[in-house]
Amino acid sequence: MKIPFADISRQYSLLKEDIYRAVDQVFESRAFIQGAFVEKFSSEFCRVHGGRFGVGVSNGTSSLVAALRALGIGYGDEVITVTNTFFATVEAIDCVGAKIVLVDCCPDTYGIDVSQIESKITKKTKAIIPVHLYGNPADMKIVMQISKKYNIHVIEDCAQAHLASFDGQAIGTFGDIGSFSFFPGKNLGAFGDAGLLITGNEELARRLAQEINHGRIGKYEHEFFGNNFRMDGIQAAILSAKLPCLRDWTNKRQAISKIYNDALIEKGFKTMKVIVGATCSYHLFVVECANRDEVQHKMLDDGIETGIHYPIPCHKQPAFLNKYKNERVDLPHAERISKRILSLPLFPELTAPEIERVLESFTKIAKK
Ligand SMILES: *Cc1c(COP(=O)(O)O)cnc(C)c1O
């Protein structure tokens, strides 16, 4: 039997009736765009994270764009983020016309090296986007200290970090805005694209809601140039049906990751570290090895799918090199780990025998 990298069908078969009922309700009420289901899910998801205002959005990329715009960030401004992230983080910065300023990742957590942020701050710096990569929280204490000291906004990219926390507080509630994605493969996945913004600031929440809906103040009156980044009612209803499972799914991801971690560390492999005070939601389980590509191919021969997140750091992407060709960006940790990291199969329904098989196959082939 094949072991997939992620398997959405296993949870679907369990939730099928709830999801059909949810979708049927949307069809009956015709609340296809925004409306009651979007409002319900936005406030539920926000509440689960201890946030104040939730704004449903079309996906986790447009949510970052809307967040930057709502904070007034655009041409001439600089935004600092980490090179080891999904491309959408930097794409959003480019989309509003701001300059992408990258720092390296930490070689142990694989997330943003917060000790490098201050050295990148200039008069033009308007925001920091810490990415809670793989569900592993960035050190928000340090990020918020820097934010206060220099009066710079913070937008947390929580696309991989539903229910992750730092010092007992849900990530996404530290900065000005938290941005989530419900891409089908994320810890909470829609059946299509969806995203959400969380903020503690009422005025900013209003601005965000307008930003994603044509800058509207009335049906055909537009206060500023916004966009159509609205969430679908169907996606919201499906997400509401799935939300009650999120805690349990997260617990299972954490439990599976602990089994992986204990076994691999005992064998001397290097896995992702979680800083003191942080609770990782384990969107991905990442381990290093010297012969990564060989391991990936041979594990596939053993019937086991793995992933690489990410094979090319953002500063090495053709799009970035092309646009920033006059700049020299050296981020050695990200470059090194991008050749060594492998993401093992991880989803809540993964069985004990499957976990065993993954570990057996990996440790048989992988070299430190
Ligand atoms: C998935 C992801 C996004 C983008 O989310 P979409 O909903 O796919 O647009 C942004 N940042 C990170 C870190 C992601 O993993």
Helix, strand, or coil here: 166? Answer: strand
Mutate to test the pocket of ligand 1, among 89, 136, 158, 227 (most ligand atoms within 8 A of CB): 89
Strands 285-288 and 341-344: antiparallel
Write a three-state SS string for 191-219: CCCCEEEEECCHHHHHHHHHHCECCECCC
Residue list, ligand 1 pocket, CB within 6 Å: 59-61, 85-86, 88-89, 131, 157, 159-160, 181, 183, 193, 195
62 Cα: distance to centroid of ligand 1 (angstroms) = 9
Nearest to 203 by CA among 53, 58, 56, 68: 53
**Model confidence at 8, in pLDDT bands (50, 70, 90)?**
confident
Ligand 1 atom closest to Cα of residue 133: 13
Mutate to test the pocket of ligand 1, among 58, 61, 110 (most ligand atoms within 8 A of CB): 61
Q: How many residues does the chain have?
A: 368
267 Cα: distance to centroid of ligand 1 (angstroms) = 33
Ligand 1 atom closest to Cα of residue 194: 7
Check whether 51 has a pLDDT greater than 90.
yes
What does the pLDDT average to over 155-182? 98
What does the pLDDT average to over 228-237? 98
**Dihedral sign (CA 46, 12, 308, 288):** positive
Nearest residue (by CA) to ligand 1, atom 5, is 60
Residue-wise burial string across 3-24, b where 16 or more C-beta atoms lie within 10 A, e elsewhere: beebbeeebeeeeeebbeebbe
Predicted local confidence at residue 273, as pLDDT: 98
Nearest to 114 by CA among 98, 124, 125, 103: 103
Q: Which amino acid is at 225?
A: F
How far apart CA 225 and CA 215 sit, in angstroms, is 5
89 Cα: distance to centroid of ligand 1 (angstroms) = 7
**Model confidence at 62, in pLDDT bands (50, 70, 90)?**
very high
How far is C-alpha 182 from the geometric centre of its chain's CA atoms?
Answer: 9
346 Cα: distance to centroid of ligand 1 (angstroms) = 18
Helix-then-strand count for the chain, H and E: 12, 12
Q: What is the pLDDT of residues 245-301, one digit of tens each?
A: 999 999 999 999 999 999 999 999 999 999 999 999 999 999 999 999 999 999 999
Q: What is the pLDDT of residues 182-196, one digit of tens each?
A: 999 999 999 999 999
81 Cα: distance to centroid of ligand 1 (angstroms) = 14
Place of tokens 């499906």: 238
Check whether 231 has a pLDDT greater than 90.
yes
Ligand 1 atom closest to Cα of residue 186: 1
Predicted local confidence at residue 1, as pLDDT: 87
What tokens appear for 135 in the block? Answer: 């569900």
Ligand 1 atom closest to Cα of residue 193: 7
Predicted local confidence at residue 330, as pLDDT: 94
Check whether 223 has a pLDDT greater than 90.
yes
174 Cα: distance to centroid of ligand 1 (angstroms) = 19
74 Cα: distance to centroid of ligand 1 (angstroms) = 20
How far apart CA 226 and CA 215 sit, in angstroms, is 4
Non-local (6+) Cβ contacts of 312 within 8 A are: 338
Mutate to test the pocket of ligand 1, among 65, 83, 86, 157 (most ligand atoms within 8 A of CB): 86
**What pTM did the predictor assign?**
0.98
Ligand 1 atom closest to Cα of residue 183: 7
Non-local (6+) Cβ contacts of 79 within 8 A are: 68, 73, 93, 98, 99, 100, 101, 125, 126, 127, 128, 129
Ligand 1 atom closest to Cα of residue 195: 7
Check whether 357 has a pLDDT greater than 90.
yes
